[in-house]
Amino acid sequence: MDGARPKICVVGGSNIDLIARVPRLPVLGETLVGRSFHLGYGGKGGNQAVAAARLGAQVAVVTKVGGDVFGEGAVRNYQAEGIETTYILVDRERFSGVAPILVDDLAQNVIVVVPGANQALGPEDVRRASPAIRGAATVVCQLEVPVETTLEAFRIAKASGIRTILNPAPAVPLPDALLALTDVCVPNEPEAAQLTGRPVTGQAEAERAGRWLLGRGPRAVIVTLGAAGALVVDEGGATQIPPIPVDAVDPTGAGDAFIGSLAVFLAEELSLRTAARWANALAALSVTRIGAQDSLPRRAEAEAWLARLGLRSGGCG
């Protein structure tokens, strides 16, 4: 990486992922025998923070965990990844967030998020963490914490002229005030459909959804399309980011790989479309492995993968 390491602040949820591999997803009322089980550290905020840190960014995370063994493990995991933990809070009355996940042989998954302590991260907690927000090049938020908490984080960021990235997941009704403070909004197809009230199942519908969201305030919208790549929509028009063919094993955390990578590449002053192409490539790499954080590449591997795909050569951009 050329120059100083970019500073990223992630405000969001921390969960423990409880991942079971199954031959297929069960039908209602059915009991299946799983093939394997994996416990990993996750949450959208956690995954995106680790994705950015592994690419060489200086990352601070603002989150809340329970006063339990899962919470203790989450803090140790952040520290092991080199992430600043000054603003991790512990709630002694709530359990840590958990996410039971089923992954089938077709690499399809279903996820149930039980927020726990994440729902107790409030605007006042974010205000106490304002030094980390104001000191960042990019602030990243999702919706696994209360919307008013995300809104306060973006208010602080934009007051200091800092770039904001919103991952509206899980999708909930969004106030215009939040979208107006968003530089880049990054939903996937189901989230874009829930936000717009219209089906989003391909590029044409994704472009309509992107333009609709753009009209509510963001400077740019990127709709991630899974195995079909992504679509960037801004004032310059709509650009398809082509898919990267891989042998998918587990899609868990692919969206977080995209967003964490995007935050770093934008902080390194790449253009939006170049950053989206590189982030899309690293998300594709992540689905070739089991787990969320376990699948996230480190910088040297990311560089080699991008070079192999012909997306870049030489040093960091």
Tell how far CA 174 is from the center of its chain: 17
Asked if 164 contacts 154 with a C-beta cutoff of 8 angstroms, the reply is: yes
Point out the residues that are catalytic: 256
Looking from the CA of 128 toward its CB, the CA atoms found within 13 Å total 12
DSSP 101-169: EEE-TTS-EEE--B-GGGGG--HHHHHHTHHHHHT-SEEEE-SSS-HHHHHHHHHHHHHTT-EEEE---
Task: Please name which of 48, 17, 6, 42 lies closest in space to residue 283, comparing C-alpha atoms.
Answer: 48
User: Rounded CA gap, 230 and 240, in Å?
Assistant: 6
CA–CA separation, 104 vs 166, rounded Å? 29
Residue recorded with tokens 């079909």:
228
Residues 20, 102 contacting (CB under 8 angstroms)? yes
- C-beta of residue 83 within 8 angstroms of C-beta of residue 53: yes
Q: Which residues of 55-92 are buried (b: 16+ CB within 10 A; e: fewer)?
A: bbbbbbbbbbbbebebbeebbebbeebebbeebbbebe
